[in-house]
A and B are shown apart, each in its own frame.
Chain A
Amino acid sequence: MPTTLKYQEKDLKLVGTRPPRPDGVDKVTGRARFGADYNLPGQLIGKVLRSPHAHARIKSIDTAAALALPGVKAVVTRDDFAEMPDEMAAVGELMINFRDVTRNMMAREKALYDGHPVAAVAAVSESVARAALALIKVEFEVLPHVIDVVEAMQPGAPLLHEDQFTVGVKPKPERPSNIAKRLEFGRGDVAAGFAQAEVIVEREFNTKPVHQGYIEPQACLASYSADGQAELWTSTQGHFVFRAQCAKVLQMEVSKIRVTPTEIGGGFGGKNNIYNEALAIALSRKSNRPVKMVMTREEVFRGTGPTPGANVKVKLGCTRDGRITAAQAELNFQAGAFPGSPVNQASMCAFTRYDLANVQVVGNDVTVNRPKVAAYRAPGAPIAVFGVESVVDEMAKKLGIDPIEFRLKNAAKEGTQTYYGPRLGPIGYIQTLEAARAHAHYRAPLGPNQGRGVATGFWFNIGNETTCALNLQEDGTLTLMLGTIDVAGGSRAAMAMMVAEELGIEFERVRPVVGDTAALGFNFLTAGSRSTFASGMASVIAARQVIEKLRARVAKIREVPLEAVAWKDGQARPAEGGGAQFAPMTLAEIAKMAGKTGGTIAGHAEINAQGAGPGFGTHIVDVEVDRETGWIRILRYTVVQDVGKAIHPAYVEGQLQGGAAQGIGWALNEEYFYGDDGVLQNPGFLDYRMPVASDLPYIDTVIVEVPNPNHPYGVRGCGEVPIIAPMAAIANAVENAIGLRLFAQPFSPPRVLKAIEDAAAARD
């Protein structure tokens, strides 16, 4: 069986059109079942007790009074979970250590952030569960805390982990540190490169953590039976990975846990990790009843992972005619309470849009007393690119070169050697720049206090382990069993479209279903913009296998040689020059006879998809700045992106628009506010300010298609690239509007007004 299929250009009937998605009716009628919509008879409600302290040693936990409360059926604490080995695993695009997974799920020695779980209860109702939490007595020894990344890096800062010595520094440091890891990427000689430069720009940027902001809080339902088997329904981006994590922390065999993924109300990377799942299974085990656990919005903010806040330094050197001679960055990323920020990925994405001989990127992964970070759509890249694309913009302006022209002069293209390893294959970066430059947006007139900014983004995209099964039913319809979660509601349709295209049949005859963990072999999470690429690849492999089997079956039924049978437009027909004639057979006719002629016809694939094509995008934004209040209005936004091939253009447009909107929110108003006590002050949607409908204009999209040679339809992942450029694009637009550059995100009105006033004062 092939494990990869190369791109083949061909006439397409279905791929590239816009059929209605198969789960659409359920979602618009309220019939679709998300995590909190599942219930089992006899279920209990589970709730988590969370640390009110940012940093504290847990001296004792007394659960006796809670257990004695009528209606309470089980309580768990750290004593109910085994110590975990020091063992790394991949979770989406971030790596995790199981030692940390269990501690993040339930604190052991210390509470490391406001919101850190310390105990959990299961009771007959929500109000009894809440009353039980109030009866649990925890003795904390409060410790000094640190939440700022630069402060946390200083020697003498409050230390989260006494046994954490910075990895990547030689010789191994003598003293432990909050810097968990230092990494470095590069090529060439930056010192020489800067020496050659005629103009140098060097700037420092600071960003705050932001949350993925999925509207559906985490929700799960666990049912453990006395024979040691557990069923789990949960809203997840990866049911196989959740099964693996639960099995590990609960010391159960993987096959004893069956995870059914519910519909998911947004993830964006934040549902790549378990939070309550293993707690719910453990509570179910102890109480002998199903346990349902649904987070409140406050818990989502206090207890689930944001993306890091960071301190970023960028230095760029150029010749006068606009060629970059050296590029350097230092990325200091908060990891939250446990190591594992996306500083790696951020480093890879910082400069890759440019063809550079001399590059150095140093990254530091720093633990601080905040929730452990989780992936957030192109993890790390928007932060690094905020710095880099701002500096690029400043450099272009200094040199008097148009910002798109500057990027074209230095653009990465096919054959460019990246500084983190691979050489780039065919890519569409230049095409997106040219399309942006040609777009009417780029020429539209601007009024007073209005400005335009451009920025670009790159994401490598991934493939990974993927399986699927395609079964031909008795009536000639097909069921495509998928193992990748359909987070945004477009990929189910895209896979079915590719299968229908392969078979030459109508879209409606292929029913895509996301199976549970018992239905298929391991599938990696839906992350890294991988599902249309990898699951699409697997689906096409399965479809081609089905076609081979159909041909063989028809050859048998019609008693002709295999070479005489061709598959075209949904039918088996005599092949041209195949040497035999026979009456064609439709899929339905073959299917009807399948049982009697050898059995059900099916195809399947188990691959580790390689060759994911990187994605590039160029954004243009117009803003208007109210100089008296510092308020930024987004007037117009255009996203241009190379997606390889848009299987279903409406859902590709949706990814571009949604990612840009998140980037805009990140730029303008989203941030976590902490008090001096390290407690989160805005754990809700009132003061964690995500864009509402009246905050945004229409977001125009331009789809560029430079096929990925490593996918049968040329697909590149598209979901992550669009969130990368907005922060820098908006900062660049503000600079264009009022001559003021912003270095701290978010660009909230008080910050902007202060920057305006400081600049005016400096001038006077």
Chain B
Amino acid sequence: MNRSKPNLILAGLLATAINAGIAHAAGAADQITVNDAYIRQAPPGAMATGAFMVIRNAGPDEVRVVKAASTVSRFTELHTHLNEGGVMKMRQVKDIPVPPGGEAVLKPGGLHVMLIEMRLSLREGDMVPITLGLDDGSSKVISVPVRNPSSSAGSMGGMVGHKH
């Protein structure tokens, strides 16, 4: 495997994503910024992996993320984990609310965008477009880097909390 060769499929997707990003519909999407997004590189053979990020809402009204889409997986869903007496149960959620002037934190063990039934094996450094659909019908396309969890393990803990 040639690791340095860019993944052509993803490069194509990325170009689409950039175009889509420029042309995204106005609305709640304009109030939303997404920081610190990454997809955790899945171990070989894994069926699914998670995308994590911090979604901020600069506007005066609550914005709810109601869906997510990506071309790299057959299903792309909003999920969370419930800890029931030490048993972690992953469940789909219907939306992720982002309070006005606040943020929603998607992180391992909690809320996340689930990429299920991967169509291709992601490598570190790949950029994957993910579209977040919002409750007013507008959408936000973000380009999310794939990170090797081992190389990013050290920064993962600090990353979420260190923003002011």
Query: Do the two chains belong together in a single complex?
Result: no
